[in-house]
């Protein structure tokens, strides 16, 4: 039976686990451990990966993977990116330098972004409005990346679904080319 | 009510914004704009971001004139005053509004704007462009425009293709296209380039999935509860 996958990546605390849980038909499987990074206010963090899935008509499975956020696990990003349909990059605007955070994932998933599809979603913009989306767009342009960019509340299923819709639309256009 | 589409392909589109008017006056003014759409030389649309014309109440006009006198800006929008005391200013219409008076002012101001070369002419539907960066929030505004912009990120496109692919009204597409062009977010692509660009794209690596089939995308959409889009098959 065919299997397909979409990745969710981003910094620790950006909401990958929550985003996957918002659309997965099974509770997300996470390999969380107690967080020892005092810079991030959360009790546990994902050191392996998150996993959720959707069963499609005909029995195919769409797998949703959340990558470990820390750059020291970037060897896993390449493994997960192999054969992926696309990647959703979640950025946490409350962090010290979210544009630098974004750079890490734009570089880490460069090939997948260029050849498949990508959406960048920025969380916690209401409480932390800077940098704004226009600054993100300019930053991405300076890095040679053009993809949809929008604010996100990962707790909202409709918003997470919209991210996937934008990813699918890009795939659709590429498939027609 | 949809904008008249008969003339939209041949007339420049200009945007206006409303300031200092009551809700009733705003509604009335927009109704007049729709009423006059088949008569004005330009197509006027309500566009709070990057307007070509500010339609302002008397009180706002007074402040604006004072500010403009200090720091005039050649790129700033033109001004049309809605006044209860007619004849006090240049480019002024009085209340109650009269269609003939408003039409004359809109045409006069429209010609000024177009003549100054600050307005993008309607873009040829078959000209190819590429999007330079994701548009700012003030240009997106609606889910339809976000969808429209998403269509543009993957490859060079023409207005005709985006109109067909998005399913939006031609006038709405042309308007958004013109706004992107005005904001310098579109770059022209030589007419033979879209196919060439696609052909010369880096060969896909073995590490990336082959292009997803339309069937797979439709099944994922269906599972997510999204409308299955009707693109060319």
pLDDT confidence band for B206 (50 / 70 / 90)? low
Interface with chain A: mutation pick from B209, B218, B231, highest number of A CBs within 10 Å = B209
DSSP state at residue A128: -
Q: What pLDDT does A88 receive?
A: 97
Name every chain B residue with its beta carbon within 8 A of the beta carbon of A173.
151, 154-155, 165
Q: Is A149 on the interface with B (CB under 8 A)?
A: yes
Name every chain A residue with its beta carbon within 8 A of the beta carbon of B153.
146-148, 170
Name every chain A residue with its beta carbon within 8 A of the beta carbon of B211.
171, 174-175
Neighbours of B215 (CB within 10 A): 14
A39: closest CA of chain B, how far (Å): 31
Secondary structure class of B143 (helix, strand, coil): helix
With a cut of 60, say whether residue B65 has pLDDT above it: no
Q: Read off the pLDDT of each residue in B130-150 and give the average, rounded to a whole number.
A: 90
B84: closest CA of chain A, how far (Å): 41
Q: What pLDDT does B117 receive?
A: 54
pLDDT confidence band for A45 (50 / 70 / 90)? low
Name every chain A residue with its beta carbon within 8 A of the beta carbon of B151.
169, 173
| HEC readout, B68-93 | HHHCCCCCCCEEEEEECCCCCCCCEE
Q: Which of A53-62, A132-141, B200-209 shows the lowest per-residue confidence on average (mean pLDDT)?
A: B200-209
Taking CA atoms, what residue in A is nearest to B213?
A175
A168: closest CA of chain B, how far (Å): 6
Taking CA atoms, what residue in A is nearest to B232?
A176
Indicate the residue of A84, A146, A150 with minimum beta-carbon distance to B209.
A84
% of chain A exceeding 90 in pLDDT: 71
CA distance B14 to B81: 17
The crossing angle, in degrees rounded to 10, of helices A98-108 and A133-142 is 40
H or E element that contains B201? none
> Hey, what CATH topology would domain A3-175 get?
Rossmann fold (3.40.50)
The domain locations on chain A are 3-175
* Average pLDDT value over all residues in chain B: 76
Q: Is A173 on the interface with B (CB under 8 A)?
A: yes
Interface with chain A: mutation pick from B50, B132, B133, highest number of A CBs within 10 Å = B133
Q: Read off the pLDDT of each residue in B162-170 and give the average, rounded to a whole number.
A: 84
Q: Is A61 on the interface with B (CB under 8 A)?
A: no
Q: What is the pLDDT of residues A115-145, one digit of tens each?
A: 999 999 999 999 999 999 999 999 999 999 9
**Predicted model pTM:** 0.67
Q: Is B153 in Cβ contact with A175 (below 8 Å)?
A: no
Q: What is the pLDDT of residues B73-89, one digit of tens each?
A: 446 788 898 887 766 66
Q: Could you tell me if A108 and A92 are in contact, meaning their C-beta atoms sit under 8 angstroms apart?
A: no
Chain B positions with Cβ closer than 8 Å to A: 131-137, 146-147, 149-151, 153-155, 165, 198, 202, 204-205, 207-209, 211-214, 216-217, 219-226, 229, 231-232
Domains and CATH numbers, chain B: 13-114 (3.40.50.2300), 126-190 (no CATH)
Q: Could you tell me if A140 and A147 are in contact, meaning their C-beta atoms sit under 8 angstroms apart?
A: yes
Name every chain B residue with its beta carbon within 8 A of the beta carbon of A176.
214, 231-232
Indicate the residue of B146, B198, B226 with minimum beta-carbon distance to A177.
B198
Q: What pLDDT does A71 receive?
A: 79
- Sheet strands (E) in chain B: 13-19, 43-46, 53-57, 78-83, 92-94, 128-131, 157-158, 186-189
């Amino acid at each position: 039976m065919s299997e397909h996958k979409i990745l969710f990546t981003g910094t620790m605390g950006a909401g990958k686990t929550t985003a996957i849980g918002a659309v997965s038909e099974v509770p997300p499987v996470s390999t969380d451990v107690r967080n020892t990074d005092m810079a991030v206010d959360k009790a546990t963090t994902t050191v392996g990966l998150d996993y959720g899935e959707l069963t499609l008509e005909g029995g195919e499975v769409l797998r949703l993977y959340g990558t470990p956020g820390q750059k020291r696990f970037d060897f896993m990003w390449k493994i997960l990116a192999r054969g992926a349909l696309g990647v959703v990059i979640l950025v946490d605007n409350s962090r010290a330098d979210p544009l630098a955070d974004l750079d890490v994932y734009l570089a880490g998933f460069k090939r997948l972004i260029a050849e498949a599809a990508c959406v960048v979603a920025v969380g916690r913009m209401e409480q932390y409005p800077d940098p704004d989306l226009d600054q993100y767009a300019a930053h991405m342009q300076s890095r040679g990346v053009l993809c949809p960019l929008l604010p996100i509340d990962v707790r909202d299923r409709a918003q997470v679904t919209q991210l996937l819709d934008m990813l699918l639309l890009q795939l659709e256009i590429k498939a027609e080319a | 009510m949809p904008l008249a589409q008969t003339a939209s392909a041949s007339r420049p589109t200009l945007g206006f914004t409303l300031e200092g008017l009551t809700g009733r006056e705003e509604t009335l003014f927009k109704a007049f704009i729709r009423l006059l759409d088949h008569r004005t030389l330009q197509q006027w649309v309500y566009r709070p971001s990057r307007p070509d014309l500010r339609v302002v109440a008397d009180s706002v006009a007074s402040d604006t004139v004072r500010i403009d006198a200090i720091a005039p800006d050649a790129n700033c929008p033109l001004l049309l005053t809605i006044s209860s005391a007619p004849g006090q200013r240049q480019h002024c219409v009085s209340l109650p509004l009269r269609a003939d008076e408003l039409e004359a002012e809109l045409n006069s101001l429209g010609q000024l704007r177009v003549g100054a070369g600050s307005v993008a002419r309607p873009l040829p539907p078959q000209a190819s462009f590429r999007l330079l960066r994701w548009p700012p929030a003030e240009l997106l505004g609606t889910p339809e425009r976000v969808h429209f912009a998403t269509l543009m990120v993957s490859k060079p496109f023409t207005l005709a293709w985006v109109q067909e692919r998005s399913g939006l009204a031609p006038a709405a597409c042309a308007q958004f296209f013109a706004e992107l062009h005005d904001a310098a977010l579109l770059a022209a692509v030589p007419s033979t380039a879209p196919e060439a660009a696609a052909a010369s794209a880096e060969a896909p690596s073995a590490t990336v999935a082959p292009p997803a089939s339309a069937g797979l995308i439709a099944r994922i959409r269906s599972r997510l509860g999204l409308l299955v889009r009707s693109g060319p098959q």
